[in-house]
C-alpha cells in the first residue's frame, strides 16, 4: 500500500474524508498526539487499525466526534456528573467513558458495554471528522508499544506502507494522550492521566478516584493505556530517581560496562550531567513543556548508537502524573537513591 503524505488543506481533508468513508485508515493530528482513524461503525475499517498497529484485540479504542451534541448518538444516557465533565473539558484533551448503545462496532469497545468518546480541539481533526460525517475510532498513530507520534514524520517512520494517508498538521501541542475518565458510576474514575489533571476534575465535580494499572493477566481494560507496555524506545529505558551525583554515578557505571548512555532530563539537571548523548525535555518549572517533548525525546535516541537510556523522574503533581505514567510504562525498571 502506498501511504499518501498530505498537507492539511481543505482539498486534502476532503480526500482523507473520502478514504475514511471508503473504510480506509488515515492518520491525522490532534492537540494531544497523532491519531490513526477509521469509521467507528465499520468492523472492516476498524480491523485495519489493529492490523496496521499490531494492537492487542482487547484494548478498546477512543471514538472521536465533532461536537457535544453527537455524544448522545453512541451512549445510553449521560448523568449530571458526566454532563458537567463534558461541558467543562470538551472539546479538549479529555475522554469520557459512558455506557454504549451499541452503535459503534464491538471491536471499538473490545466487547465491553462501555464506549470511550472524545471531542478533539485541534481544528484539523475537527474539520476531518465533520467532512467525513462519521464517528472516528482513533488510537495513537504508531506501532503498538512504541512512543506515540507528535509529528507527521513520526507516523511515517512507523506506519508508512500500512495506511492510506497521513495528514501533516505540524507538531502537536500537549504531546501526551488525553485524560480518560470513567463516568459510568457515581464517582468519576481516572483510568489514564493526561492533559486534564486530577485537580482540574476535582474542581469541576468534587471527589475523583484513580484506577490502578492492570497486568497482562488481569481483566480487560476499559481504557487504552491501562494494561500493556507502551511508549518503549528501541534501547532499554531506566528511570533514575535521585540527585545529580547519583544520576551521574549511574551513567558512569553503565559506561564502565562499555555501554553508550543516553540521558533524558530537564534543562536544569542536564547542566550537571555528562553522557554520550542527551536530550533536554524542558524545565522542571514548566512541566507542560516536558509533556510536549516527552515522546520526541523517546524517539530521538532511535537514531543514535546508545545502548541504554536513563531518564529523570518528575513530580506527580498536575500534569506530572501523566508524564510519570508514560515514563513508567516505557521503562524497564527504576533505580532509586537510598
pLDDT tens readout for residues 65-102: 999 999 999 999 999 999 999 999 999 999 999 999 99
pLDDT for residue 226: 57
**Pseudo-torsion of CA 92, 95, 101, 102, nearest 10°?**
110
pLDDT for residue 219: 58
pLDDT for residue 274: 97
pLDDT for residue 213: 58
One-letter-per-residue 3-state SS of 283-333: CCCCHHHHHHHHHHHHHHHHHCCCCEEEEECCCCCCCHHHHHHHHHHHCCE
Residues of the chain with pLDDT under 70: 213-230
Contact 183, 79 (CB under 8 A): yes
pLDDT for residue 31: 97
State how far the Cα of 170 lies from the Cα of 152, in Å rounded to an integer. Answer: 7
pLDDT for residue 214: 47
State how far the Cα of 131 lies from the Cα of 124, in Å rounded to an integer. Answer: 10
Contact 40, 108 (CB under 8 A): yes
Contact 35, 140 (CB under 8 A): yes
For residue 284, say if its preceding peptide bond is cis, omega within 30 degrees of 0: no
State how far the Cα of 139 lies from the Cα of 36, in Å rounded to an integer. Answer: 6
What residues does 271 pair with on adjacent strands? Answer: none
State how far the Cα of 13 lies from the Cα of 49, in Å rounded to an integer. Answer: 19
Dmax of the chain from CA atoms? 60
Q: Given CA atoms 244, 326, 179, 29 in this order, what sign does their dihedral have?
A: positive
pLDDT for residue 314: 97
For residue 191, what is the enclosing H or E element? strand 189-192
State how far the Cα of 294 lies from the Cα of 175, in Å rounded to an integer. Answer: 7
Pairing of strands 94-99, 179-182: parallel
Q: What is the secondary structure of 243-277 as a DSSP string? A: -HHHHHHHHHHHHHTT--EEEEE-HHHHTT---SE
Contact 40, 189 (CB under 8 A): no
Go through the domains of the chain in sequence order and give each one's CATH number: 4-210 (3.90.870.10), 237-336 (3.40.50.11030)
Q: Which residue has the cell 505514567?
A: 325
pLDDT for residue 216: 45
What residues does 136 pair with on adjacent strands? Answer: 39, 64
- Output phi, psi for 63, to 5 deg: -95, 125
Q: At what angle do helices 198-205 and 80-89 cross, to 10 degrees?
A: 130
pLDDT for residue 218: 46
Amino acid at each position: 500500500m502506498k501511504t499518501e503524505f498530505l498537507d492539511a488543506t481543505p482539498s486534502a481533508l476532503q480526500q482523507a474524508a473520502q478514504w475514511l468513508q471508503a473504510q480506509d485508515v488515515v492518520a491525522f493530528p490532534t492537540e494531544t498526539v497523532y491519531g490513526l482513524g477509521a469509521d467507528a461503525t465499520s468492523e472492516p475499517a476498524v480491523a485495519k487499525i489493529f492490523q496496521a498497529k499490531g494492537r492487542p484485540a482487547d484494548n478498546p479504542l477512543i471514538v472521536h466526534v465533532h461536537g457535544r451534541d453527537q455524544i448522545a448518538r453512541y451512549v445510553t444516557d449521560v448523568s449530571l456528573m458526566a454532563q458537567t465533565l463534558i461541558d467543562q473539558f470538551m472539546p479538549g484533551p479529555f475522554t469520557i467513558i459512558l455506557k454504549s448503545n451499541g452503535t459503534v462496532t464491538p471491536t471499538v469497545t473490545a466487547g465491553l458495554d462501555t464506549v470511550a468518546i472524545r471531542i478533539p480541539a485541534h481544528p484539523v481533526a475537527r474539520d476531518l471528522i465533520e467532512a467525513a460525517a462519521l464517528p472516528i475510532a482513533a488510537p495513537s498513530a504508531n506501532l503498538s508499544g512504541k512512543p506515540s507520534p507528535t509529528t507527521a514524520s513520526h507516523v511515517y517512520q512507523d506506519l508508512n506502507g500500512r495506511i492510506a494517508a497521513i495528514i501533516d498538521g505540524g507538531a502537536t501541542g500537549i504531546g501526551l494522550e488525553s485524560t480518560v475518565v470513567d463516568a459510568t458510576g457515581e464517582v468519576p474514575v481516572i483510568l489514564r492521566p493526561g492533559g486534564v489533571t486530577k485537580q482540574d476534575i476535582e474542581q469541576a465535580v468534587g471527589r475523583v478516584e484513580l484506577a490502578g494499572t492492570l497486568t497482562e493477566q488481569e481483566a480487560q481494560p476499559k481504557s487504552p493505556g491501562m494494561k500493556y507496555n507502551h511508549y518503549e524506545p528501541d534501547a532499554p529505558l531506566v528511570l533514575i530517581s535521585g540527585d545529580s551525583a547519583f544520576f551521574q554515578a549511574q551513567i558512569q557505571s553503565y559506561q564502565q560496562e562499555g555501554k553508550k548512555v543516553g540521558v533524558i532530563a530537564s534543562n536544569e539537571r542536564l547542566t550537571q550531567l555528562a553522557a554520550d548523548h542527551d536530550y533536554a525535555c524542558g524545565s522542571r518549572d514548566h512541566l507542560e513543556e516536558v509533556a510536549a517533548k516527552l515522546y520526541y525525546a523517546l524517539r530521538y535516541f532511535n537514531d543514535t548508537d546508545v545502548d541504554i537510556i536513563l531518564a529523570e523522574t518528575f513530580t506527580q503533581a498536575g500534569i506530572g502524573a501523566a508524564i510519570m505514567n508514560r515514563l513508567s510504562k516505557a521503562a524497564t525498571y527504576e533505580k532509586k537513591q537510598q
